[in-house]
Structure 1
Amino acid sequence: MNQDTPLVTVIIPVKNGGALLRECLAAVFRQKTDFPFEVLCVDSGSTDGSLDTIRAFPARLMEIDPSTFGHGRTRNLAVQHSHSPFVALITQDAVPADRAWLRELVAPMRENEQVAGVFGRHAPHPDCMPAEAYMLERHFANFGADTTLFRIKPGPEGWAHYEANKPYYRFFSDNNAALRRSVWTRIPYRDVEFMEDQMWASDVLEAGYIKAYAPRSVVRHSHNYSPLVQARRTFDEARYHREYFDLPDMPGIRRLMHHSLLQSKQDVRQLMADPREKDKLSKAAVTVGRNVGQALGWFLGDRHELLPQAVIRRISLHHQLKGDADARVARSSLLQDASKALQSTLASRGKLDTVSTVGHKVAISWKQYRREGISKALLSAHRALRTPPKEPRGWWEQDHYRLLAQPPKARAVVPSSSARTLDPEHLVINWVIPPFGRGGGGHMTIFRTIHFLELLGHRCRVYMTDSHGLPPEPMRLQAMVHQWFLPIQAPVLHLGEEEMEPADIVMATAWHTAYRVRATNCAPVKAYFIQDYEPDFFGVGAEWQMAEDTYRFGFYGLTAGPWLESLMRTKYGMHARSFQLAVDHDVYYPDPVLRDGKRKVFAYMRPNTTRRGFELVALSLGQVKARFPEVEIHIAGAELPPSALPFPFVSHGVLDFDGLRRVFSASDVAVCLSFTNYSLLPQELAACGCPVVDIDVESTHQAYPEGAVVLAPPTVAGISQEVCRLLEDEALRQRTIAAGFQYVRGLSWEKAVLQTEEALKEFALLGTGRASQQAPLLGVVR
């Protein structure tokens, strides 16, 4: 091994390592690799000669106070003092089985930069008890014989499978593991007593990284625990599984004992059939005792909340590891929590409501007791009492309000440590978006743009501001995007106080996200994805002013359509380019739906979205219905109760793509308004053969060719008159349908995203001084 900067730091926590520590270090330094590595031992108060053992090898030694030791905390300290991009983790009683251990362990991370961590296989020590050896063999056989990347497939089915198989996916043992240090800097170990490795694996998987298994990286690592120690260790394992992962409750004691006896029967049969084993009866007794102890430990640990604290401290092994452990296990009892809840309810609701509430909860608990048993009923009651209510967030805590009082930062250059070499053909773009929900057209355009940019070779990340109401796991957020919108490779992350990862361009997508983009230094180029003139979302006032101010932040503008581009250039002096809203022709086309002979008018209505002109559309449709009583009015865009409109209608709520296509294709006329810029829906309606009525304002007038969309004055009389005219004049309706088809035939998202890509390349080159404002790069055709 030469003295170059090491590729890997092997970290070994030590305390009284004994003879196995010497075997471990000797095996580590015998490794045959094509890269340099170093060894760092962290000792926490050894008294058995382990320090002399470490000094006999060319390893670095770090000594810490035993009272500061923590499984996650100490490993974080060691990784912090490493000098390499990869870190291998092993323990003092785990001995590499051959000279290829380290090379095989880091191979998946060298091959794929998205692999955050790797774990290897455990084999038994020569003196291992048969039951332990069988358990190790069974456990690692679950992960396959070949190198396997445990990557959750994108989409809702991936998250569902992960949820259903969490114990399998999150398994990670830092008795034999490796980490990518750059991922660790963002996702370090949690400072916990136990299971720090499996919690880290869950964190990185849910953040969208890959966990790999290296079956040819083998260490000898096993324990010959007595039945009592096995029960105590399993108690702690179940206890921390419950605390950290909140898994479904373990089965009852009868089922656990039945399973343990079946397992014992299998283990004893294998033991008796092995001619090499001696003293078979004694080992068989220990095997049965270990399995029974394990079942008992799982049962008690999973229900530890019902046990007195003195009993927990008596059983647990892990409370002895840290001086503050008593404080950790000192939790309120069920009676204490019930008393607090009762006093709080009495104070807030009075005696009558309190009696009613208590009676209702007792009835629920009684039903659960009859159905599932006393322990599960008591556990459910205790957890419900312990769950604190969510504190509402004040409006002033939203990002844009919080940042509004801060002075704007100058256009800072990304720090040199994070600087990137610009490659216009492979841009890295951070998208800052508002929280999404099902059916959002603006979000659909964002995610569709990301989808096609990724196909063109660019890399994207999605960061959400003020997203407290959405699930915390990035992988689950990505699955929701796949389910509700389109498949993207980009990770979908909550944007907290931390800085975003370095990129070439950081993109605001709504007025309140622009304040976060202004405050960041993650990229040298700041751009603005503008789909609407957002000040007009509000009446003239504070939010109107805050929205308009964002157009003066000095960002490059990428606008939906020519009207916004012209507005940004002339009114705000923004360097802007535009793309054309398009149609996905694989989704929107005339569906051969079964027509029932009734004429139908479709309207897109969202009462809470001011720009959609809900009241104007409703009053206009009322006049249409009065003139043509037989016409059916169909509504989509929001869930509307029958009392929401002054006439009968069919509410479709929020539809998926197929549902929209069927409704569009079955309609004779559609009304779809947008006051702040033209929208996606008129193109999609026209592609399904439905003539569209929109309002005649500057943005729509510049967007649509003559006759493709009927533009009505933005009045009740004007809109209702155009709808009625299309219903009365079949020749006009057919001409409008034909003109709409002609218009949308030339639209495609592939073309639109090529326009977007060329604009982004231009912005990137301009922002890094490699292009001129007078020499735009648009117009390049692939």
Structure 2
Amino acid sequence: MKISIVIRAFNEEQHIGRLLYGISKQDYPEPEVILVDSGSTDRTLEIASQFPVKIVHIKPEDFTFGRSLNMGVAASSGELVVLISAHCYPVFPDWLDLLTQPFNVKEVALSYGKQRGGESNHYSEHQFFRKYFPDNSVLQQAHPYSHNANAAIRRKLWEAHPYDENLTGLEDLAWSSWAMDSGYEIAYVAEAEVIHQHNETMPQVFNRYKREAIALKQILPNSTFTFGLFLRKWLGNTLYDLNQARREKVFVKQFGSIFQFRLMQYWGTYRGYHFAGKIDAQLHRAFYYPANILENKVAKSRNVEKIDYTQETNFL
């Protein structure tokens, strides 16, 4: 079964080389790789050109998350299309094989894999990854949650239902909800692990959760997020993270980061839910082009040698 990989990128010179190197080390032979670039002004395209990559361009003024994905999938030729963020990279050489194995079941429309943070991620984001991407696989998921930073879909189903180009985010949730409503299945593959690197400022954290909340309100128009819920979510998750940090003996080091991240996360969510402005191309650009460019479990080990990224510097 032919596989295509679609990557969305904007000014990803710090990360794109590592991702493409990791793809080159996969056990799966020569997948088609498509990079959708939305106007990078750094060395992203220069670095990508050192690998066998097909580059698709989208103008910044035309960018939406769904539109860039649709352009990438449209340019692909695989029966399965893997979607991965430019600031992710696979941990193991069997990542691609494992992520696409669930499609041996014809009812599976989408699979997605585990995410863990890198050294630059905020402490609370590591807790988010642990909660939403557990260590155990679920090959017939009971809910529509998915994440396009590390996922795969059937191309023929995308042809029947492309990604929503008007959403300010969560186009993955909208698509997976459609798939489940249409009778298809979603699989979560914990062993198909990637490192998802973020190095966000607090205003960028606020911005991300605000745009996702605007999108969620579009997807679920009857949903609400009251000020009381904001307070409960912020305080509850802050206390949880602080307790985790205490157990991991990093309480003092991480106190400020935890307090600020959870505040920006849920205040952004609250403001997004109560956004009353016009959702247009200008809003999309404002979100994507910033002014300045549960439990403490021990992760299961795998008897598979990790990809050695020390040679990846040759491409930087």
Report the TM-score, using the length of structure 2 for normalisation.
Answer: 0.83
Map of 1:262-281 to 2, 5 A cutoff?
A: 262-275=236-249, 277=250, 280-281=251-252
Amino acid at match of 1:121: K
Other-structure match for 1:26: 21
Map of 1:380-529 to 2, 5 A cutoff?
A: none
Contact 1:150 1:210 in 2 (8 A): yes
2:49 is the counterpart of 1:49: no
Report which structure shows greater RCO (CA 8 Å, sep ≥6). 2
Amino acid at match of 2:136: A
Other-structure match for 1:285: 256
Other-structure match for 1:301: 272
Offset at 1:25?
A: 0.7
Offset at 1:28?
A: 0.9
Map of 1:356-371 to 2, 5 A cutoff?
A: none
Secondary structure of 1:225 counterpart? coil
In structure 2, the CA distance between the partners of 1:199 and 1:31, relative to structure 1 (3 Å rule), is same
Other-structure match for 1:105: 99
Map of 1:181-220 to 2, 5 A cutoff?
A: 181-192=155-166, 193-220=168-195
Which segments of structure 1 move beyond 6 Å, counting only runs of 4 or more? none
Contact 1:228 1:290 in 2 (8 A): no
Offset at 1:55?
A: 0.8
Other-structure match for 1:392: none
2:122 and 2:270 mapped to 1: Cα distance? Answer: 24
Other-structure match for 1:256: 230
2:208 and 2:36 mapped to 1: Cα distance? Answer: 24
2:45 is the counterpart of 1:74: no
In structure 2, the CA distance between the partners of 1:200 and 1:282, relative to structure 1 (3 Å rule), is same
Offset at 1:64?
A: 3.1
1:207 and 1:106 mapped to 2: Cα distance? Answer: 21
**Structure having the higher Rg:** 1
Amino acid at match of 2:127: Y
Map of 1:698-737 to 2, 5 A cutoff?
A: none
2:286 is the counterpart of 1:320: yes
Offset at 1:321?
A: 5.3
Map of 1:767-778 to 2, 5 A cutoff?
A: none
Contact 1:260 1:295 in 2 (8 A): yes
Offset at 1:283?
A: 2.5
1:283 and 1:224 mapped to 2: Cα distance? Answer: 15
1:73 and 1:255 mapped to 2: Cα distance? Answer: 32
In structure 2, the CA distance between the partners of 1:139 and 1:86, relative to structure 1 (3 Å rule), is same
Offset at 1:267?
A: 1.0
2:118 is the counterpart of 1:125: yes
Pairing partner for 2:210 from 235, 239, 243: 235
Secondary structure of 1:150 counterpart? coil
1:146 and 1:227 mapped to 2: Cα distance? Answer: 32
Offset at 1:240?
A: 1.6
In structure 2, the CA distance between the partners of 1:139 and 1:247, relative to structure 1 (3 Å rule), is farther
Larger fraction in helix: 1
2:58 is the counterpart of 1:64: yes
2:268 and 2:284 mapped to 1: Cα distance? Answer: 14
Offset at 1:223?
A: 2.5
Contact 1:24 1:96 in 2 (8 A): yes
Contact 1:117 1:210 in 2 (8 A): yes
Which digits, 9 at most, give the CA deviation of each residue in 1:383-423, with x for residues without a partner? xxxxxxxxxxxxxxxxxxxxxxxxxxxxxxxxxxxxxxxxx
Contact 2:27 2:97 in 1 (8 A): yes
Which digits, 9 at most, give the CA deviation of each residue in 1:354-405, with x for residues without a partner? xxxxxxxxxxxxxxxxxxxxxxxxxxxxxxxxxxxxxxxxxxxxxxxxxxxx
Which digits, 9 at most, give the CA deviation of each residue in 1:267-314, with x for residues without a partner? 122223324x4xx53531121122122222222222223xxx49x99x
Secondary structure of 1:113 counterpart? coil
Other-structure match for 1:149: 140
Other-structure match for 1:12: 7
Other-structure match for 1:84: 78
Which digits, 9 at most, give the CA deviation of each residue in 1:565-593, with x for residues without a partner? xxxxxxxxxxxxxxxxxxxxxxxxxxxxx
Secondary structure of 1:62 counterpart? strand
Offset at 1:37?
A: 1.6
In structure 2, the CA distance between the partners of 1:232 and 1:67, relative to structure 1 (3 Å rule), is closer
1:239 and 1:170 mapped to 2: Cα distance? Answer: 18
Q: Structure 2 regions of 5+ residues with no counterpart? A: 290-316
Offset at 1:322?
A: 8.0
Secondary structure of 1:84 counterpart? coil
Offset at 1:237?
A: 1.7
Contact 2:110 2:186 in 1 (8 A): yes
1:234 and 1:137 mapped to 2: Cα distance? Answer: 18
Amino acid at match of 2:102: P
Q: Structure 1 regions of 5+ residues with no counterpart? A: 1-5, 152-168, 324-782
In structure 2, the CA distance between the partners of 1:18 and 1:247, relative to structure 1 (3 Å rule), is farther
Offset at 1:48?
A: 0.6
1:202 and 1:57 mapped to 2: Cα distance? Answer: 35
1:267 and 1:79 mapped to 2: Cα distance? Answer: 38
